[in-house]
């Protein structure tokens, strides 16, 4: 597993999931909060994955140019960021347009049935 991650599992969880996962969550919220499309979150989370690789390399002597490590970091951070974007988007749509949309779940909303 450490070969794929380019570092130890503890470092991966600490740096990528906890620290930069929080940054990805806040990134998704901020982008959705300004009504920008979800693909912006995707791009910024790819940049956060590169940041994760650098932090792992600089602070914990991990592999900087680990392709599998970068892809795993990117997958985790994009998933966290897109989740935050969707939750925030649904919350904003149902709060901004309560006469038109109602929340159906954490990640979905639907048009109100006014008939």
Number of structural domains the chain divides into:
1
Helices (H) and strands (E) counted in the chain, each on its own, are: 5, 2
Reference 97, options 83, 114, 115; nearest CA is 114
Domain that holds residue 72: 2-111
Q: Note the pTM of the prediction, 2 decimals.
A: 0.92
Classify residue 98 as exposed, middle or buried by CB count within 10 Å of its CB (0-12, 13-18, 19+). exposed
For the cut 70, the answer to whether the pLDDT of residue 114 exceeds it is no
Reference 74, options 92, 50, 91; nearest CA is 50
pLDDT in tens, 19-61: 999 999 999 999 999 999 999 999 999 999 999 999 999 999 9
């Amino acid at each position: 597993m450490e070969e794929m991650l380019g570092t130890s599992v503890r470092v991966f969880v600490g740096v990528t999931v906890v620290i930069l996962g929080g940054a990805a969550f806040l990134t998704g919220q901020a982008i959705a909060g300004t009504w920008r499309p979800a693909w912006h979150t995707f791009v910024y989370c790819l940049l956060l994955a590169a940041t994760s690789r650098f932090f792992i390399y600089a602070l914990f002597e991990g592999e900087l140019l680990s392709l599998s490590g970068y892809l795993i970091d990117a997958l985790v951070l994009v998933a966290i960021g897109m989740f935050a974007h969707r939750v925030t988007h649904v919350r904003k749509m149902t709060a901004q347009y309560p006469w038109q949309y109602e929340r159906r779940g954490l990640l979905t909303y639907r048009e109100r049935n006014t008939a």
